[in-house]
Structure 1
Amino acid sequence: MTGGTAASADTGTAGNKSMQKTTLIAVGVVLLMLLLVYRSVITTIVALLIVGLELMAGQGVVATLGNLNVIGLSTYAVSMVTMLGIAAGTDYVIFLLGRYHEARHRGQDREAAFYTAYSGVSHVILGSGLTIVGATLCLSLTRLPLFRSMGVPCALVILVIVAAALTLAPAILALGSRFGLFEPKRKYDEGGWRRIGAAVVRWPGPILVVTCGIALVGLLTLPGYTPGYDDRQYMPDNVPSKVGYAAAERHFSPARMNPEMLMIEADHDLRDPSDMLVIDRIAKTAFHARGVGRVQAITRPLGTPIEHSSIPFQIGLQGAGQIQNMKYMKDRMADMLTMANQMGILIGTMERVYGMMRELTDIMHDMTGQMKEMQGKMHDMRDLMYTFDDFFRPIRNYFYWEKHCADIPICWASRTVFDALDGVDQITEDMDGMVVNVDKIDVLMPRVLAEFPPMIAIMKTMHGSLLTMHSTMAGIMNQMDESTKNSTLMGKYFDEAKNDDSFYLPPEVFDNPDFKRGLKMFLSPDGKAVRMTVSHQGNPASVQGIETVGNIREAVADAIKGTPLENAKVYMGGTAATNRDLQEGAKYDLILAGIASLCLIFIIMLLVTGSVVAALVIVGTVAVSLGASVGVSVLIWQDLLGMDLHWFVVPLSVIILLAVGSDYNLLLIARFKEELHGGLKTGFIRAMGGSGKVVTNAGLVFAFTMCAMVVSDLRIVGQLGTTIGLGLLFDTLIVRSFMMPSIAALLGRWFWWPLRVRTHGTAGVR
């Protein structure tokens, strides 16, 4: 299981586990450094006891307020509170013990040495503490919760440590000094630092040039700084969420697992063809933005345009129906030709029938005449038979009266003849009826015959029309075949090319069940908002991914310009979008907190030193130290180790170094001001000799304590600690020891403007 929530939980768990290890290492570093400085187990143990009590008190206050929900806490805030508390507490103890040892070496008794130490460093501790408190409180002005959550906790722990350093530490020092517990174990030697001070006074210009050259090493590396935004790269490899990410990355790219969500919110329903055109235009323009790998929207749910949604394909699709019907149309054209051929045969048959009918009409006409003649003859024969019957009726009656006529041959034969004579009358009547019908046929036959020529002419016309129609339709169908073939190929090629320049969704698509499911996925229930999933070409959690967000926003703004969605609201979220907000927020917070811290540091330095120029020099050298130290950290982590500095490291390091980096300069300037009675140059050499060792020891302890954070399982904590540690080393060994003193020596009495100081004192160099 993995994801943002799991990663946050694992980060907290890893931070809590490594906090104990980091604290032990830091305590070990402080113990070793104090043993090297004081060569006394008792002094070291008491110093650690003081630091431990101060830290426990500070952490207790912070934890109590956090538990009461008065202030917020984060994993990084807890780590920074611990490291900052240990380092600052140790520094203040070193300041106090160092000045006490110096006074003892100068021959003062224990009580006088205590008062000298307290009066000499109390204002420095207070000014230093207030500087750190003010600078860390400037984090509360920031917008990012990650920075804001560190401001109050760090300020509170420093306030507690300053209060303890001004009360508890002096009390323990006063009590222990009565029993001789804090006596210096080795001879106090200022010779080395006095020689450095003398060299700076003698050659301030060359030394300033050399120190500026050293600073340029870091400053020239700074432009190549590339912040890292992938939090997983800074987590331990064995945490479950990172293991889960690694398993997922074996199958999916980081871009697929960390897409951006682009949402367009309009004031009307977007579920219509016209708005779909605009939505696809937005998706297409966003897809063509530099750095975008894929855009999924309702018009391209799989990252490519919906299949067959181009206008050429839809035009070709209309031709596809014609192509499907073309075979049937060609078959019907063949039937038409067959019909024409059959009609030609029918016309020939009709012409032959017409010839036969003409002959039949003539025959019928002749036969009608003959039948009329026969009818007349039949009437004549009937009349003759009637006459014969009248004359032979008595004989005929005999034949019918004779009972035995059937037995008499002549009788029966004669009787049969007379019966036959009776049939002539029936035949005559039938002949009359036949003649009437034949006469009608004789009249109708010419009429029927007269209909044949027009009928044949019409059939010939139809035959010619069919042939003409077939010829015309054949040409038209050939043209249709060619035109539909091209349109279909055009649509096919547009589909294969995934060309989205001519997208269109017809209204009937909105009734499609699959499209309705897509609408539910990509559009809000009221249809007024549409979302798109944007995948990067590279890693979203990178500088390139952040730049891609800007490209997408510009592309969307251009896409909706002049469309019905011109006034729509555009929202974007995701890994890269969040990192872009973090980048802009960090830049804003760094500028805000940096300017506020510099102004606050300037005011505090001005109050302590009373010199505008001295305060400006301190602030300026701190700024140079910041740039150089961050550049060196970039050189080590990014260029040598191949790991980008987390975006969170530089802003926070700058704020902490702004606060802490001025402490050592403040101690030096305060000591310089204290020695001004001996003259500028003499007082400067004395100040370097008296404070050099103490300040260097304090700076080294602070730096190595912060560098101890590198053992943390969270690489962000390690980067933060090493960056601050490198800054402190650079500030202690270069800026405080050479750069700032050389500037003060070059400026001379103008360094103390508007204060009036004597160039030459009445006392010699001690």
Structure 2
Amino acid sequence: MLESIARTASRYALLVMAVWAALAGVGNLAVPQLEHVVKEQSRAFFPTDSGATEAAHRMGLWFGDSDSNNIAYVVLDADRPLGQADRGYYRGLADRLRTTTPGVESVMDLWDDPAAAAVFESRDHRAAYLMVRLSGQLGSSTATDAVAGLRAAVDAAQPPAGLRTHVTGPGPSLVDEFAALDAQLARITVLTVGLIAALLLFVYRSPITAAVPLASVGLALGTARPVVALLGEHGVIEVSVFSVALMSAMVLGAGTDYGIFLLGRYHENRRVGMTPPDALADAYRRVAPVIVGSSATIATALFCLSFAKVSFLRSAGIPSGIGILAAMLGALTLTPALIGWFSRRGRLEPRASTLGRRWRRIGTAVARWPGPILVVAVGALIVCALPLLDAKITFAELAAQPATTESSRGYQAVRSRFPDNRLLPEIVSIQTDHDLRTPAGLITIERVTRKILDVRGVRTVQSASRPAGTPVRQGTLTYQAGQIGEQLSGTAQSALDGMNSVDTVLATVGQLDAALAGMQRGLTGAVDGLNRVGAGAHDIGAGMTGLQGNLREVSGYADPLRQFVNGTPGCADNPICAAVQKIVTPLDDAVGATGTLAGGAGALREGAAGATTALDGTAQNMATMRTALSQLRGLTATLRSSLDAVGPQMQQLTGYLRQLSTDFAGSSEGGFYLPPRTFDDPQYRRVMTMMFSPDGHATRLLVYGDGESWGRDGAERSAEIRIAADEALKDTPLAASGSVDLTGVGTATAELITYVQHDFTLLVIATLILIFVIVAGMLRSPVAGIVVLATVTISYASALGTSAAIWQHLVGQPLHWAVPALAFIALVAVGADYNLLLAMRLRDEARAGVRTATIRAFAGTGSVVTIAGIVFGLTMFAMLGASVVTIAQVGSTIGIGLLIDTLLVRTFVVPPIAVLLGRWFWWPARHDGGAVWVHGLGLGKGDDRPERIHDRTATAG
């Protein structure tokens, strides 16, 4: 049946070629180009159910800003300090992004906020940045469009002279990485085709012969691309830029190999004299199963990638598998059609070659000394694999992209001005069922902040209690103690100044006591005097009565003068009247006075008697008052001595409080407390809108660390941050109701490591099982299947070790995390191809005996497999032209593995094992007399004696 397919394809060659050309042409015209579909249909880099993605989604719901993990930064930097014009540009850009830029969901612009400016501005004041939350999950088409919109808005703005702008961050980094790969795909493909064409021309020395596999693989790739594009456009399969790159490389390599396999056997048949149709039919019959088995193993291995959780791996599986199946169909239909078409015109005749004779000599050596050769070959493989013991797998995605991309330039600008990882924080959110915008809530936030700062590698935490990443000076108890000290100092001094009047009181009390003593002595004498006054008053009264009568008589003689005075106007101004008045007035006063004195003398007598009685009681009261004053003087003296001690103590207290504030200034120690009035501060209120959810039930902290935040350092630190935050909530009001979420590049990398380990384990198990089933089924021997899998596995380990040694120790770049999985898929599958071709040839030649079959298999397949391996290897090495390190490492690792498998494993490992195992290599086999039969193929019992090898070699030649 297989021969009839080959003859039919050859007979209707033009129709077959026309059908393939039509399929490729119509498909590419009717279906959008694959690159366009990739741009429109790319999915998120991380699974939507990953912890970091779900945490970002929840934060978006709580804070009302963005539920994606697509974070970008706009970095401003200059060779001069940023001025007011730069600040104006910053404000205008932030407003424009917030209000008119599609894809922008929130903007954190705190450069103008004194409470947080220290985080967003470099210490030399020459750079600043703002954070932008964009729509779409990282790696998705929506995220790519959002980054493009952000960059368009920044480009449209007119920065001041000397100010540079960069759009960078996790979102732009992935966009730039994929864009760099997309831009280089055409160049890599052209380079690949050029290398393959050059090698085929060198080997076949015929443009027509070289064109046969190239035409077949070209039309196969041209047909596979629209199929993948159609399925991707309708969401049936997942596509990405990486899947396009890997599919192109795999189709070019494997498809060319299939053409080489068929051409090699066709040329071998022609050399032994077969006619072109018979040579093609026989070659097809023998090689088609190998092509089917090979494509089945590769496609199956690639399809296993669809079980991966990481889209970077998952998206490469089915598209590349479809490409391999298209290459298989091309090799089974188009390649025989091309061979038939050109062979009828005598254009595909084999050139004279001595390669078969050389490979026969190698086969003879292997058949004669299988044990030593196997030991040396396995030893070489082990040496190549030893670097795996020291190999490092990097998850630092930033190192994978070229340094010339815009995001890389942005990171470089930030790295020269800011501490490391300033644009790659971990975001911690705390949620509870009550408002955190209280002094107690801020104390809890500060406690969490302090606990996270204790985590190894954490450098800065920006939180509601530390908007600028450092302790708020006004928020420490020591600062507030200093403020109390300042106020107490002034108050205490005033109090002490007032208390100094105690000295005056003490002196006054002394003076009062002295005065009272004098008064007490005077009162004693006064009692005696009053008695005498009373007696004298009686005598005075009698005398005054007589004197009054005399004066009244004399006054009567002065009536004329009195009338003159009263009748003269302005008497005081008249000298005579004034003189008369000086006589009359005293005389009248004397008359009145004598009457008064007479009455007063009587009253004096009575008063003296009463005063004498009163003064006796006053003298006794004065003695009591002096006793009280004596006690007051003693108390005042005691108060004076106490004030002498209190004064220095007050000065020491205020000095201590002041020094306490000075000593703890800028320190995280000293307690934390923000009074309620802080929440009314306009500056702090803006920080609250950024750090708290609208209802205050959630807050977020930005954690900055050292090392590779987008790598293992960040991954390991993220787990410790979560533990620290959970521990900090214990014994707080949030212990029962609070919960912690964590997102960021470190958290995402930690999950990526878990996903990659899961995916790699799954791929290894599924791929080995499926390939074993296919290979063992085709070879009809589980032993042969196990040998093939074991050898390709050790070949893979050797390739990975060699690649790790080159990249890690010579280039200084550890292997990217995607390299081991993709290299395993490719090397195990493709390595199985070459060993399958060799094993199938050994089975075909098995009737002559294992050793002779080995020699003939080397002669027949040595050059073919070597050329195929070198071609496929060059296809992979062409990926070194990519500036994306991931692609370059994948290509180089697979290329190295193909060369190791082609030149070492397939040559010096599998054949010696087959020779040493003998008939057991084909177990189960049935015994029939002296011969061993493998499903109808007899292995002569006596044909494997070493002394007969040369005879059979000559015969085989």
Counterparts in 2 of 1:114-153, with a 5 A limit?
A: 114-153=280-319
Where 2:501 maps in the other structure, the secondary structure is: helix
On the 8 A contact 1:308/1:495 being kept in 2, the answer is: no
On the 8 A contact 1:299/1:306 being kept in 2, the answer is: yes
- Structure with more contact order per residue of length (Cα contacts < 8 Å, sep ≥ 6): 1
Provide the residue aligned with 1:613 in structure 2: 783
Greater mean deviation of Cα atoms: 688-697 or 554-563: 554-563
Q: Residue 481 of structure 1: CA displacement? A: 4.2
Provide the residue aligned with 2:228 in structure 1: 62
Q: Residue 118 of structure 1: CA displacement? A: 0.5
Deviations 1:657-701 (A, max 9, x none): 222221101111111112111222222222222112111111110
Question: Is 2:761 the partner of 1:591?
Answer: yes
Provide the residue aligned with 1:536 in structure 2: 705
Deviations 1:511-556 (A, max 9, x none): 6555544433222222222211111122312332322223323333
Q: Residue 50 of structure 1: CA displacement? A: 1.7
2:191 to 12, 21, 25: 25
Question: Is 2:688 the partner of 1:519?
Answer: yes
Aligned mates of 2:731, 2:798 — CA distance in 1 = 50
Aligned mates of 1:692, 1:624 — CA distance in 2 = 21
Q: Residue 632 of structure 1: CA displacement? A: 0.9
> Highest CA radius of gyration, 1 or 2?
1
Q: 1:493 to 1:230 in 2, by over 3 A?
A: same
Aligned mates of 2:319, 2:400 — CA distance in 1 = 24
Question: Is 2:383 the partner of 1:217?
Answer: yes
Aligned mates of 1:421, 1:27 — CA distance in 2 = 155
Q: Residue 642 of structure 1: CA displacement? A: 1.4
Aligned mates of 1:577, 1:303 — CA distance in 2 = 21
Q: 1:516 to 1:82 in 2, by over 3 A?
A: same
Equivalent residue letter for 2:266: Y
Q: 1:428 to 1:559 in 2, by over 3 A?
A: closer
Provide the residue aligned with 2:34 in structure 1: none
1:255 to 412, 415, 421: 421
For structure 1, the residue ranges without an aligned partner over 5 or more in a row are 390-395, 407-416
Where 1:238 maps in the other structure, the secondary structure is: coil
Question: Is 2:182 the partner of 1:2?
Answer: no
Counterparts in 2 of 1:347-358, with a 5 A limit?
A: 347-358=513-524
Equivalent residue letter for 1:299: S
Question: Is 2:213 the partner of 1:44?
Answer: no
Where 2:709 maps in the other structure, the secondary structure is: coil
Q: Residue 589 of structure 1: CA displacement? A: 1.1
Provide the residue aligned with 1:556 in structure 2: 725
Deviations 1:101-125 (A, max 9, x none): 1111222222221111111111110
Equivalent residue letter for 1:177: S
Provide the residue aligned with 1:82 in structure 2: 248
Choose between structure 1 and 2: higher helix proportion. 1
Equivalent residue letter for 1:112: D
Where 1:37 maps in the other structure, the secondary structure is: helix
Q: What value does the CA root-mean-square deviation take over the aligned residues? A: 3.1
Q: 1:562 to 1:117 in 2, by over 3 A?
A: farther
After TM superposition, the score normalised by the length of structure 1 is: 0.89
Deviations 1:256-292 (A, max 9, x none): 1211111122344333444444332322221111111
Question: Is 2:716 the partner of 1:547?
Answer: yes
On the 8 A contact 1:677/1:761 being kept in 2, the answer is: no
Aligned mates of 1:171, 1:743 — CA distance in 2 = 38
On the 8 A contact 2:189/2:248 being kept in 1, the answer is: yes
Q: 1:566 to 1:606 in 2, by over 3 A?
A: farther
Deviations 1:301-360 (A, max 9, x none): 222333254556656665554444332232223221222123222322332333334434
Aligned mates of 1:369, 1:551 — CA distance in 2 = 112
Q: 1:577 to 1:427 in 2, by over 3 A?
A: closer
Provide the residue aligned with 2:267 in structure 1: 101
Q: Residue 422 of structure 1: CA displacement? A: 11
Greater mean deviation of Cα atoms: 693-702 or 756-765: 756-765
Aligned mates of 1:176, 1:41 — CA distance in 2 = 12
On the 8 A contact 2:541/2:599 being kept in 1, the answer is: no
1:649 to 807, 815, 819: 819
Question: Is 2:922 the partner of 1:760?
Answer: no
Counterparts in 2 of 1:705-720, with a 5 A limit?
A: 705-720=875-890
On the 8 A contact 2:181/2:883 being kept in 1, the answer is: yes
Identity %: 35
Deviations 1:44-97 (A, max 9, x none): 123322221122112232233334443332221111111111111100000100
On the 8 A contact 2:177/2:400 being kept in 1, the answer is: no
Question: Is 2:320 the partner of 1:165?
Answer: no
Aligned mates of 1:749, 1:7 — CA distance in 2 = 57
Aligned mates of 1:666, 1:480 — CA distance in 2 = 96
Greater mean deviation of Cα atoms: 666-675 or 181-190: 181-190
Q: 1:629 to 1:515 in 2, by over 3 A?
A: same
Counterparts in 2 of 1:113-512, with a 5 A limit?
A: 113-187=279-353, 189-307=355-473, 309-311=475-477, 318=484, 321-376=487-542, 381=546, 428-482=598-652, 485-486=655-656, 488-490=658-660, 492-495=662-665, 497-499=667-669, 502-505=671-674
Equivalent residue letter for 2:691: F
Q: Residue 492 of structure 1: CA displacement? A: 4.0
On the 8 A contact 2:212/2:335 being kept in 1, the answer is: no
On the 8 A contact 2:537/2:602 being kept in 1, the answer is: no
Q: Residue 233 of structure 1: CA displacement? A: 3.0
Aligned mates of 1:103, 1:695 — CA distance in 2 = 16
Q: Residue 449 of structure 1: CA displacement? A: 3.6
Q: State the aligned residue count.
A: 739
Aligned mates of 1:718, 1:625 — CA distance in 2 = 20
Q: Residue 703 of structure 1: CA displacement? A: 0.4
Q: Residue 143 of structure 1: CA displacement? A: 0.5
2:847 to 677, 685, 689: 677
Equivalent residue letter for 1:711: G
Aligned mates of 2:389, 2:616 — CA distance in 1 = 118
Q: Residue 375 of structure 1: CA displacement? A: 2.8
